[in-house]
Structure 1
């Protein structure tokens, strides 16, 4: 499996938001929805070897993680409203330290970046942090096809988060000379991995 972790600093942590106003009523949940779609959809199918972990840090009840698992996922269509609806249903569940499935392929739990990084580390997974001043992904020869990639939202990551990521990451990578949206970065990363696997 390939894993993407996206940190949503303002993403609402209850299901009390409008699907008609994901940017405003849900703390830029639209960004996370686009990331879900970019990581999971192909032209005529879905990537079954991808997990997307959305870390929700917004009000009123942080911190929660919603995981989309491509292998078991159902009821997701390639639009923001569809992924927003699945997130909304997940947030209606009580979040405990253990995963609770809300719909097929979607789980929620009370956890954060530190817990996720620790779990990936214990599983001996290669963790990569995406940042503009990292090593060019095309020049990095050790890229694992079952890696974990950490990305921020439109606000980037905080200094404390960056220190935590740096302490666990195998390498900081960049995907090109320009700063891109997180969902665009994910497509490029997956394309690089597709080429590597081919």
Structure 2
């Protein structure tokens, strides 16, 4: 599985928000919804080998992780309201330290970035921080199929978060010289992995 971690600094941590105002009242939940769709949807199908973890740090109860698992996911359509609805249903559950499933393929628990990083490290996963100041992803000699990619939202990442990520990351990768939206970054990274996978198959 490939894993994407998106840090939502303002995203609400309660299901009490309107699907008609994802950018405003929901704390830029629209960004996270676009990331979900970019990570999971193909033109005529879905990527079943992707997890996307939303680290929700907004009010009123910060520190929740919502995970979308492409292998088990159901009831998701390629629009922001659909993914927003599944997030909303997850947040309506009582989150504990252990994952609980809200709908098929969508899980919620308490936790934050450091908890995820510790779990990935314990499982010997290669973690990459996406930042325009990193090394060119196309010059990377090895990019494993089960890589973990960390991205910020419209606010980027805090200095504290960046230190935590860089302390354990295998590297910092750039997909180009300009800063792009997180959902666009995900599409480009997946395209690179698709091309690498095709080259390995043909070799």
Query: Scaled by the length of structure 1, what TM-score is found?
Result: 0.99
In structure 2, stretches of 5+ residues that fail to align are 199-203
For residue 143 of structure 1, report the CA deviation from its aligned partner: 1.2
Name the CA distance, whole Å, in 2 between partners of 1:181 and 1:135.
18
For residue 145 of structure 1, report the CA deviation from its aligned partner: 1.6
Name the CA distance, whole Å, in 2 between partners of 1:11 and 1:21.
12
Name the CA distance, whole Å, in 1 between partners of 2:65 and 2:167.
21
Name the CA distance, whole Å, in 2 between partners of 1:42 and 1:163.
34
- In the TM superposition, structure 1's runs of 4+ consecutive aligned residues that sit over 2 Å from their partners are none
Counterpart residue number, 2:201: none
Q: What secondary structure is seen at the aligned counterpart in 2 of 1:82? A: helix
For residue 54 of structure 1, report the CA deviation from its aligned partner: 0.1
Does 1:27 find its partner at 2:15? no
Name the CA distance, whole Å, in 2 between partners of 1:146 and 1:196.
13
Residues 92-171 of structure 1: pairs in structure 2 closer than 5 A: 92-171=92-171
Counterpart residue number, 1:59: 59
For residue 162 of structure 1, report the CA deviation from its aligned partner: 0.3
For residue 168 of structure 1, report the CA deviation from its aligned partner: 1.0
Counterpart residue number, 2:15: 15
For residue 55 of structure 1, report the CA deviation from its aligned partner: 0.3
For residue 144 of structure 1, report the CA deviation from its aligned partner: 1.0
In structure 1, stretches of 5+ residues that fail to align are none
Aligned residues: 198
Q: What secondary structure is seen at the aligned counterpart in 2 of 1:23? A: coil
Q: CA RMSD in A?
A: 0.4
Name the CA distance, whole Å, in 1 between partners of 2:143 and 2:193.
8
Name the CA distance, whole Å, in 2 between partners of 1:197 and 1:142.
11
